Amino acid sequence: MTQTTLNSRENPEWVLMAKALKGEMSAQEQEEFNLWLNADSNHAEQWAEALETWDEVGSIHDNSFEPDAQLAWEKVCSKANIAPIHSAPESTQQEAVVRPLFNWNHVYRYAAVFILAAGLAWVGYFNFNQSADWAQVATLSGERKTFYLPDSSQVILNSNSTLRYQTAFNGTERKVELTGEGFFDIKKNPDQPFIIESGDARTQVLGTSFNVKALENSDEVTVAVVTGKVSLSSERNGEEVILTPGYTGTLHADGKLDKTESALQSANSWKTLSFQAATVEEVTQQLSAFFGVAVETSSPELLKCTFTGTFENPKLSEILQVLAISTDMTVKQKAPNTYFLSGQGCQ
């Protein structure tokens, strides 16, 4: 198995991951981290492994915690597929030794101590850093973003949406503000509930996954639950409904709440594009609406071709590539948001 060679000058993501675990990323670092996560699926797996390691050896938040450097280093090496270098026994003969200016293995051994000690450092951070700085993530038409909050909760933000959040979740609540639509996978913390405010709607969870839709031009807010339990309440009259998987709650303009049964897959249907024997004309219409781009062709026969496929967390480039291969067409980008399809088409 190929092993990773670490170099802090070439792997700044390790520094960002350490800051993410502690909840200390700045807005710029959050943006850099999101770009790195979205650049390669292996990066998301690497981050998931880091979170798993953190849960196993680094999430101790009491003053009796004493970091074990060797244990931390071995666990980090195991998760990241790095060969740990153990101290060699002292030689009985005197030999000339050439030492490099920087021993990066020592650096990462210290980094392992840092990851373990981050639990203790968080106590001081939580008690003494009471800043209420806010950061904001926004998406344009046809754009979707996946990013992580300071507590490592994941958010997938739909197009034309905005999420404001505290750069450090201090205090008794983890609070964010949403305009638009987003899917949330919240890190469990019974001592610090997660709050989403959307106008008069207040959504509270301890740890679960759900979809919130609070469009700027709509008088309604809907919450659909995939896992766990969610409380949806009205700030206007205090009315509340408890939602479980398979149920959707709606807050109306008059402050009234209702609860309806819904299919689980409909909770985050905007994260998926599915085509069942759809004509290329229908496909291009959906792509235009979903990604906010123009897809053109001068061949009526090409529009008659059919296509079947399902894409989770779809990317326009991937869909166009699959579409081109399956229908024997050529796709060319004419402008930043304009694509042209050509080919013989279908009868």
pLDDT digits (tens, 9 = 90+) for 93-125: 444 444 444 444 444 444 544 444 444 333 333
Is the pLDDT at 194 greater than 70? The verdict is yes
Is 204 or 267 the better-scoring residue by pLDDT? 204
Average pLDDT over residues 199-213: 89
What are the φ and ψ backbone dihedral angles of 96, each rounded to 5 degrees? Answer: -70, 130
Nearest to 184, CA basis, from 227, 141, 221: 227
Is the pLDDT at 145 greater than 80? The verdict is yes
The region of weakest confidence among 169-173, 174-178, 190-194, 221-225 is 169-173
DSSP β-bridge partners for residue 309:
275
Q: What are 230's two structure tokens?
A: 């969610």
Is 296 or 84 the better-scoring residue by pLDDT? 296
Q: Sorting pLDDT into bands at 50, 70 and 90, what band is 207?
A: confident
Which residue ranges form the domains of the chain, and what is each CATH number?
12-128 (no CATH), 134-266 (2.60.120.1440), 270-342 (3.55.50.30)
Is the pLDDT at 133 greater than 70? The verdict is yes
Is the pLDDT at 235 greater than 80? The verdict is yes
Average pLDDT over residues 37-63: 62
Our CA angle for 284, 159, 307, nearest 5°, is 25
* 39-48, 57-66, 82-91, 146-155, range with greatest mean pLDDT: 146-155
Query: Each residue of 310-321: b (16+ CB within 10 Å) or e?
Result: ebeebebeebbe
For 24, residues 6+ apart whose C-beta sits below 8 A from its C-beta are 125, 150, 168
Is pTM beyond 0.75? Reply is: no
